[in-house]
Amino acid sequence: MSNAQILQEALKLNPQERYIVVESLLKSLDIPDESVDTIWANEAEKRLNNYRDNKVQTIPFEDVFN
């Protein structure tokens, strides 16, 4: 069954049934990717270590938002 056919069939559902289908589809897309979490955690730790070791130039908060 093609995407267009699936959509045509879904549009025949009553609003409550369509809502259930939409919610289920959206939930299926919201599955956390642990590998991305690991990559970000490693990056955050690297940045913190660089900050603590004075390897990066910091910018005062006021300058960033002015």
> What does the H/E/C string look like for 14-39?
CHHHHHHHHHHHHHHHCCCCHHHHHH
The count of C-alpha atoms lying within 13 angstroms of the C-alpha of 26, restricted to the half-sphere facing its C-beta, is 6
In the DSSP assignment, the letter for residue 62 is: H
Q: Summarize pLDDT for 15-62 with one digit per residue, the tens.
A: 999 999 999 999 999 888 889 999 999 999 999 999 999 999 999 999
Q: How confident is the model at residue 12 (pLDDT cuts 50, 70, 90)?
A: very high
pLDDT of residue 10: 96
In the DSSP assignment, the letter for residue 54 is: T
**58 CB contacts (<8 Å, ≥6 apart)?**
51
pLDDT of residue 31: 85
What's this model's pTM, rounded to 2 decimal places? 0.49
**13 CB contacts (<8 Å, ≥6 apart)?**
21
pLDDT of residue 2: 96
